[in-house]
A and B are shown apart, each in its own frame.
Chain A
Amino acid sequence: RKEVEQDPGPFNVPEGATVAFNCTYSNSASQSFFWYRQDCRKEPKLLMSVYSSGNEDGRFTAQLNRASQYISLLIRDSKLSDSATYLCVVLDERDDKIIFGKGTRLHILP
């Protein structure tokens, strides 16, 4: 099983729709989780951390399910500018190493 797995997409979603991504991780001891956004030919940028209780930042909601070892990202009222690749990131705290998923590509359609 891959350490961090994501559906590569692409997800083609009309503007204004709600879209959700899931990500599964294999190391049950992982403690820290993040969603990053990467635009084409750009560096990844932190979108939000994922907390056990779930957290929301504007149109974005992240949730963690430790029992099933997955995290999710929900984008409401999607905008054209949301088009990007969304990377699921898990921190291996023992080695202080971050592990990236391969990313999910999102295309918001006008």
Chain B
Amino acid sequence: GAVVSQHPSWVICKSGTSVKIECRSLDFQATTMFWYRQFPKQSLMLMATSNEGSKATYEQGVEKDKFLINHASLTLSTLTVTSAHPEDSSFYICSARDYGYRYGYTFGSGTRLTVV
């Protein structure tokens, strides 16, 4: 079935630094990938839609200059959290849709970011 690989699984960084998270579709091509954020005991919130070869589409309230998204190939999208602050600490998850796989979305394993 469809597999999405996300790295790193967890990261701790200092305030003011930047963190890059990678999301790869391993056995299918994903022209579109999605980035979510989930705070404890809350639902997944869509941050942005990543489109291969073009600019990402950000949801209202998400700062595009803070959360840089690059989708340079059909199998890789990256999210960079720039100048991270403690309030950016969260669980970040990517997903992609493989139209051949049970018509659903497959998620990466998530990245737990802690900013200290």
Residues of A bordering B, CB below 8 Å: 32, 34, 41-46, 49, 87, 89, 96-98, 100-103
Contact = CB atoms under 8 A, between A and B. Distances in A.
B28 interface: no
Interface of B: 6, 32, 34, 42-44, 46, 49, 91, 93, 95, 97, 102-110, 112
Contact of A46 (B91, B104, B110): B104
A44 B107 contact: yes
* B-side interface mostly: strand
Contacts of A46: 102, 104-106
* A-side interface mostly: strand
B104 A43 contact: no
Given A41-B91, A46-B104, A102 B109 contact: no
B15 to A, nearest CB: 23
23 contacts: A32-B103, A41-B110, A41-B112, A42-B109, A42-B110, A43-B108, A43-B109, A44-B93, A44-B107, A46-B102, A46-B104, A49-B104, A87-B44, A89-B105, A96-B32, A97-B34, A97-B46, A97-B49, A98-B46, A98-B105, A100-B44, A101-B43, A102-B43
A2 B42 CA distance: 15
A97 to B, nearest CB: 7
A74 B95 CA distance: 26
A34 B104 contact: yes
Contacts of A100: 43-44
A42 B9 CA distance: 10
B66 to A, nearest CB: 21
A44 B44 contact: yes
A102 B42 contact: yes
